[in-house]
Structure 1
């Protein structure tokens, strides 16, 4: 993806900011694991300097940002100023992700609860659905990375994980869990690297899925449940609904899904030992699912 021409986004950004916008300075920013054109652009708007982020975005990210923008009174991100075909403009957030061991701010949990509650059992236009077919496609993509690591390194641990993935892709426990779990709009990649203060950035992996995906990823601990800051607000916004990430089936399913989701990255960057650890957590989640689904 490449940056859009200024004529495509600058007038819309200016309207959102209340005046004619003129570019003052540009600074490239890191685009994450999936590289994209991302830059900080300092704008002059009626004598004010306003920093924004201009990002070349996939159709899914554009759709997700529009869906998040309707959440009130606060959305779990820096807010959407303007969007178009292949691009978004958002306010620049000056911050760094929380360090390992540092608690996730309550503001992030509360904002995530708002978007999960708003889109509870609803599907925003343009967002992929996590179902059995999506699960098989995820396993297939992950298999490419794991088998590539096996061919590159010759380490038999990668081959063992690849064999497990090939079996998991049609595992009936996954199909049964997905058939019964409620879905909502999820960030899909809510790790600490995508958290600036209380703002979740980079919505390119947004999905319509069980919300335990975000709960487990943001908590960063296998088997974790959402903290009170999340569950209390979700309960208030969706009275009588089961808070996402609390039900045992959802938590076990999320352990499988999240660890398979990140196995490709681990195979490319983290080595056989870490891949084996992650596969073991996914296997544990599958073993837990069986008895839960039988009750």
Structure 2
């Protein structure tokens, strides 16, 4: 039976470990501050933003939230970004995706001050990551690395198959795992919608990371015995429940756990780690901007 990798527990440890760094900054008169920006009234985005603000409150990070009318011109959002760039009290901020259709999200990312880009999506930060000198590791990929570390998985020399090539997870995670570093040195295969014989690629892997957004795409028949499985996907599917739906991953959990040596659940796996690593990046941003040295977990 597979070990269940508890993302909630690992995320809680990271938040606890950040306490000393936050206290060091506070003692120097520098309370880390994270701002969240939401344009529009997407219910899921509102939930995510509220969770991130609650996380800040729990660990002692100052939280600021800015709402922008979803029908307003893109210029209103860009003005908000400029205000946050110029605000010395804000160490980092995120613009919650998705943004309305009339706003170019790539332009949004490009306007964020790279030193405050705690999502790690700005082209400058992406370039630094690829070059092996990351300022901010994107939150979900970094969270995956922390989960592998917590599960005792040594990536050096391991064959890792990532299913999904998004700018948010697949691409940056592949780059992180191939870096010459203690949590890298893997041999990485990136699969996507045009990959032929996906099952052959996943069966050949020591570690399979699913981040493609297709409910239960990968089942136990696509895994070799002893594979470590990290499921990044969160998909809402119809179900006979009070809410009328349930959340499932990109991996068919019950089937996969019969083959895997370790596996993350959905929910309770990668999701909590993404939020924890956002706090991590915010503390790191505050340290970089104030020149107050801190020890990060």
- The question of a shared fold, defined as TM-score above 0.5 by the shorter chain, is answered with no
Structure with the greater relative contact order (CA < 8 A, sep ≥ 6): 1 or 2? 2
What's the TM-score, normalizing by structure 2?
0.29
What's the TM-score, normalizing by structure 1?
0.30
